[in-house]
Amino acid sequence: MSGSAQADAKGAGSKEVPERRRKGISQVTLVYLIVLALIPLSRLISPAFPSTDQVENILVLGSFLAIVAFGQGLVILTGGIDLSVAAIITASAVFMSAITGAMGNSALVGVLLTLGVGILIGLFNGIGVAYLKIPPFIMTLATGVMATSILLGQTNGSPSGASPPVLRELFGTGRIFGIPITIFFFAALVFVGWLIQSRTTYGQRLYAVGNGEIVARISGLPVKQLITSVYVVSGLCCAIAGIMLLGFTAGANLSIGNDYLLPSIAAVVVGGTAIKGGTGRYLGTVAGVLLLTTVSTDISAMQLSEGWKQIVYGAIVLAALVLSRERPEGGSRTNIFARLRARKREEDMDEGHGDVSKGAAGPGQSAASQNEHRRSISQ
Amino acid sequence: MIETGAVARKRTFWQELRPQALATNSVLLAAVVFLILFMIWTYYLPGGLNAFQIKDLLNLAQALAFASFGATLVLIVGGFDLSVAGLISLVNVLVATQMPSSAGLAFSFAVLLVALGLVVGLINGCLVSFLRLESIATTLATFIILSGLALVLLAAPGGTVPPSFYEPVTGIIGGTIPVALVVLVLLVIIWLVIKRTRFGVNLFAIGADEDAATMNGVRTRAVKVWAFGVAGAMYALAGLSLSAATSTGNPNAGTPFLLTTFAAVALGGTSFAGGKGSAIGSIIGALVLAIIPKVLFVLGIASFSTGLFQGLVMIAAVLLGVATAKLGRKEES
Amino acid sequence: MKKLLFTALLVVIPVALLVGCGGQGAANNGGGDNGEGKKKIFIALSYSGNLWQDEAANLAMAIAKTPPYDKEVIVEKQIAGTDVQAQISQYQSMIAAGADAIVSFPVSPTGLNQTIKQGCEQGVKFFMYDATVTEPCAWNVSYITAGTADEPNKPYFGANTAQWLADELGGKGKIFMNRGVAGNSVDQTHYDTAKAVFDKYPDIEIVAEYYGMWDASTSQKETAKALAANPEVDGVWSELGESGVLKAFLAANRPLVPITGENANSFRLALADPKMQEQGLTGVSSGSPPMQAGYAVKLAMKVLKEGDESVPKNVEVPLPWVTAEDVKICEGDKFENGCNTFPEGKVPDDFVTEVFQEDLLPESSLNAALKGEPTPGATIQPLPEPLEMPADRLSVTRGAEG
């Protein structure tokens, strides 16, 4: 992780966070608008669209991704990445079905123990990244590979046991007012996620860590604990997703989590979070989740061969990235949102933070080294 | 890395950017890990080691070596490239369905595919560099598109790779030197050359501090585009190598490379934060990953544990790297 | 110091877990001749992680440990991974370790050919179960081309199930097709042979076609999407994952329709459930039987004892065929008195029930399939003459040159 010890703590800590957040709004709105446009456009694909069935489906299928992406989003916010999500989801689902099925524990005990497993794996990741300074990409990749391999060894390859009836009811067949219970969970999750990331000190501190670890440390934040915590939260989220999926599919298998690794990252990035950390909002991630799920629902209704479906899916993801990208100041201003955003940014900018560093900040750039560079320019 | 960076700025900009020296430690470490595993393997190998077994091992590692070579370039400039898996699938499918059977034409076709890889890589590079998209998400999208193309071209595994192509590529020269060994040595030489060219130096400059590189007159965008481009060519070579090893087409052939490529790079000590790394390390990382299952087999350890060992070796390699770097720093001061 | 502690922790935890789970694997290795004239058989899986794969491998292990084989062979199980290169490496290691026979689920029909050929040249016998390879020196033991035991002349899983569905729908209606893994040759064969049947009925319209990845959870999600896009559907043709298809219908509150699928225990239970039948469920349970793996071990032993000519290179395993009327629930742990399904709660929902076959694999039991342990008291029974694949079906498993 990079950073300069002398960088201006005020600049990175207090000023930038709200500014970035406001910038994020228009980008997030844009993704929501794309989703809203896509749903009626589904009509072109199937005469049965748009329908309540379709929306219900998007929300139910999206809920699993949304929760995984919350954890992933926090990890990315601090400049990390979690590649072990698929393994943790699978491990949780299999563990849950094993201890409630084969060992006959009650569903509640099962849920608590399973959440514990998620937290433990997350803690393992967090300690490796925060205290041992192992790059997150490598640490979580290794953890994922190891967890899968241990799981295979323990289950001897074949998970046994089924989902407890309560879970089936909650996340499978159950409905309140005719609406699947899972959708209520989704709504609650979005609220809680937004609350944690945008309205708590904890959330604010994560932004600070993402904007520059060293600065954050100098400002007195417990950086190592904070970084560890996001991996724990991610592990916990995956465990919840695993439990929900177990209820949804009423049976665990060892590939149950595979669909969530790359989409969880894609959802976060499409929702406007920079992979290098320090920016982004959970509502943006939710928009990303809805976009990806809507697209995949639409595409599966297309009468195309699988290869073409993949091509279309990839092209749409790419288009969404291009549409919702953050434009550099000097760049083209054909898009009204970009123009508005740019104007806002200009208003917010104080004189010392020159345009060069903002405009030229590429993906290879961490916020802290930008600060460092700004300093060297102003000197 | 930053501490050294801050100090080095007082020296000249270019002096700072010889992180190759920094990376040497990790490369050496990966080499030691590989040698230990290699010795265990040969010690327990029934019937002892012969040229054919080395050939088999190198043929298995070769595709991954190419792929992780490419990925290293992109990581050094501070990007991520997930398109590796899609490009390998696409090239594999094209080889299995379209490659002419006469030797001369087959190899010209191979060259054409490398050019294709280059073009795909350049497109990735332009998207990332000029449109300023997140590289990980962009290349995820291109990965999906390329995999889709592979599936369109070949719906199910099949097709054949002409023997005139795979036999010379996977063979043994004069009964003693596997062709794959020659190829790996060539790769090492290519890397040593690249890193001494201006392009190579610029790669590290951009990865370490893009703004500073721009200030010093590096055309950062162009260099980044070419980093992706050369990486794409390397992925195409990986696809060719994989096609030779399996002598058939499979539209999903590249998928396993999505993670193993980065595991190999990590083992080789390349930083995922950019600015530091070595393709030689990545090549050794590929060899380590190829030999782990063989070592576990001769040790009779349940193959469930392959993943566990891969993970442990990765973490251990990084930790050793961190530890030696620290020791080195203490000696300096 | 703190750091050291963490490091130690990071290393110790996985190693401890490894010792916990890895113990059983270290049975035998390296040396080669420590078995005093025993034959060496390797069970080579491509991947693990679904019930089908592991039941198959467990059955192979159980049969190899059933007397008198337990005195005659050393058996070892290895799992390579989902990619061809991993399996190539696996075969190479096994050949180098002095294997006499390799019984395997091949991950690619053609990608392993070079390695298999090298092995054959060194005298190793390759037996592929379920999926097949095109290399002529290997034996294929598979249901893919077979007809049912009653009608061996009507080939292919895809064609038989599609014909059943077409008949059930009276030759017209809207259907879904839940395929397996995209880009897989077995899936392609199933699909092509099924599609050929549906194409004969102009009034049958395939309104959705998707890939359930041969697992119940993906099948369920994909079916849910298809249901949302199609208010009307009259039937579903499905490969493995049929229990997920059924769950998607139930979760969406939709009337049930005829579903053809493979052999998930819960699917068979549902077929026989009067409540489900009332809602409109009919169907047939067919498809890949895991018992093929145990059968392949018996055939491999026959070749090792009696020579290459004793077993034809292309052996068919009859296609299981169970409709609602045929479902009969077992009392105990064996398929006795013609029973073919286990009661609810005894096995996981997606347990693939075809672990047993009266004439080909009477040595099997539920425990053999779940744990890989030989059935107590069982001994290897003589095999009936293997069913040789008719020449006109060869192109499906042996490639164009057949």
The CA-atom distances, in angstroms, between B172 and each of A49, B52, B58, B166, B214 are 60, 8, 11, 12, 47
How close B121 gets to chain C, by Cα (Å)? 24
Q: Is residue A303 part of a domain?
A: yes
Helix, strand, or coil here: C107?
Answer: coil
The parent domain of residue A298 ranges over 26-331
Q: Is residue B31 part of a domain?
A: no
Q: Is residue A96 part of a domain?
A: yes
Q: Is residue A372 part of a domain?
A: no
Q: Is residue B306 part of a domain?
A: yes
Q: Is residue B37 part of a domain?
A: no
**Residue contact B318–A366, C-beta within 8 A:** no
Return d(Cα A116, Cα A111) in angstroms, integer.
9
Return d(Cα A325, Cα A338) in angstroms, integer.
9
B185 or A329, which is more confident: B185
Q: Is residue A54 part of a domain?
A: yes
- Residue C45 pairs with which residues in a beta bridge? C79
pLDDT in tens, C257-310: 999 999 989 899 999 999 999 999 999 999 899 999 999 999 999 999 999 999
Measured between alpha carbons, how far apart are the two ends of chain A, in Å?
24
pLDDT bin (cut points 50, 70, 90) of residue C51 is: confident
Task: Report residue B56 CA to chain centroid gap.
Answer: 19
How many independent structural domains does chain A possess? Answer: 1
Helix, strand, or coil here: C116?
Answer: helix
Q: Is residue B327 part of a domain?
A: yes
Q: What is the largest CA-CA distance in chain B?
A: 62
For A218-222, C12-16, C93-97, which range has the lowest pLDDT when averaged over its residues? C12-16
Q: What is the largest CA-CA distance in chain A?
A: 69
B60: tokens are 């298995």
Which residues of chain C are within 8 Å of residue A248 when distances are taken between CB atoms?
217, 220, 251
The pTM is what? 0.81
Mention every residue, 6+ apart, whose C-beta is less than 8 A from residue B245.
B59, B60, B62, B63, B166, B170, C85, C88
Q: Is residue A46 part of a domain?
A: yes
Residue A335 has a CB neighbour count (10 Å cut-off) of 16
pLDDT in tens, B23-82: 456 788 888 889 999 999 988 887 777 888 888 899 889 999 999 999 999 999 988 899
Beta-carbon pairs below 8 A across chains A and C: 145
The parent domain of residue B285 ranges over 52-332
B139-151: average pLDDT: 93
Q: Is A191 on the interface with C (CB under 8 A)?
A: no
pLDDT in tens, C201-249: 999 999 999 998 888 888 998 999 899 888 899 999 999 989 899 999 9
Q: Is residue A164 part of a domain?
A: yes
Return d(Cα A95, Cα A166) in angstroms, integer.
16
C313: tokens are 């290179």
User: What DSSP character marks residue C202?
Assistant: T
CATH code of residue B144: 1.10.3470
Give yes or no for residue B146 having a pLDDT over 60. yes
Mention every residue, 6+ apart, whose C-beta is less than 8 A from residue A102.
A160, A161
Q: Is B311 on the interface with A (CB under 8 A)?
A: yes
Nearest CB neighbour to B312, from listed C11, C27, C110 = C11
pLDDT at position C49: 63
The CA-atom distances, in angstroms, between B259 and each of A125, A163, C346 are 17, 31, 38
Q: Is residue B27 part of a domain?
A: no
Return d(Cα C228, Cα C210) in angstroms, integer.
14
Q: Pick from B108-122, B165-179, B270-284 the range whose average pLDDT is largest.
A: B108-122
Q: Go through chain A and tell me how many residues it has.
A: 379
Phi-psi region of B54 (alpha: psi -120 to 50; beta: other; left: phi over 0): alpha
Q: Is C49 on the interface with A (CB under 8 A)?
A: yes
Return d(Cα B192, Cα C347) in angstroms, integer.
59
Helix, strand, coil shares of chain A, percent, nearest 5, are 75, 0, 25
pLDDT bin (cut points 50, 70, 90) of residue C48 is: low
Q: Is B11 on the interface with C (CB under 8 A)?
A: no
Strands C125-129 and C101-104: parallel
pLDDT at position B8: 38
Return d(Cα A318, Cα A311) in angstroms, integer.
11
User: What DSSP character marks residue C79?
Assistant: E
pLDDT in tens, A195-219: 999 888 898 889 988 888 888 888 8
CATH code of residue A150: 1.10.3470
Return d(Cα B227, Cα B139) in angstroms, integer.
14
Q: Is residue A181 part of a domain?
A: yes
Q: Is C14 on the interface with B (CB under 8 A)?
A: yes
- Residue C39 pairs with which residues in a beta bridge? C73
Task: Please report the residues numbered 330 through 349 in chain A whose beta carbons come closer than 8 angstroms to any beta carbon of chain C.
Answer: none
Mention every residue, 6+ apart, whose C-beta is less than 8 A from residue B5.
A2, B16, B208, B209
**Residue contact C49–A57, C-beta within 8 A:** no
For A9-18, B146-155, B310-319, which range has the lowest pLDDT when averaged over its residues? A9-18
pLDDT bin (cut points 50, 70, 90) of residue B111 is: very high
- Mean pLDDT for chain C? 85
- Mean pLDDT for chain A? 76
Which among A111, A146, A106 is positioned nearest to A125, based on CA atoms? A146
Q: Is residue A351 part of a domain?
A: no
C390: tokens are 């008719």
Return d(Cα C93, Cα C91) in angstroms, integer.
5
Give yes or no for residue B141 having a pLDDT over 50. yes
With beta carbons less than 8 A apart as the criterion, state whether B55 and C88 touch.
no
A108-124: average pLDDT: 92
Q: Is residue B157 part of a domain?
A: yes
Return d(Cα B207, Cα B65) in angstroms, integer.
22
Which residues of chain B are within 8 Å of residue A363 when distances are taken between CB atoms?
78-79, 128, 132-135
- Residue C44 pairs with which residues in a beta bridge? C78, C104
Q: Is residue B35 part of a domain?
A: no
Nearest CB neighbour to C98, from listed B46, B154, B299 = B46
Return d(Cα C287, Cα C350) in angstroms, integer.
14
- Gyration radius of chain B over CA positions: 20
Q: Is B93 on the interface with C (CB under 8 A)?
A: no
Return d(Cα B184, Cα B179) in angstroms, integer.
9
- Using CA coordinates, name the residue in chain B closest to A357: B211
Virtual CA dihedral for C347, A154, B289, B298, nearest 10 degrees?
-100
pLDDT at position B168: 85
ipTM over 0.85? The verdict is: no
A27-55: average pLDDT: 81
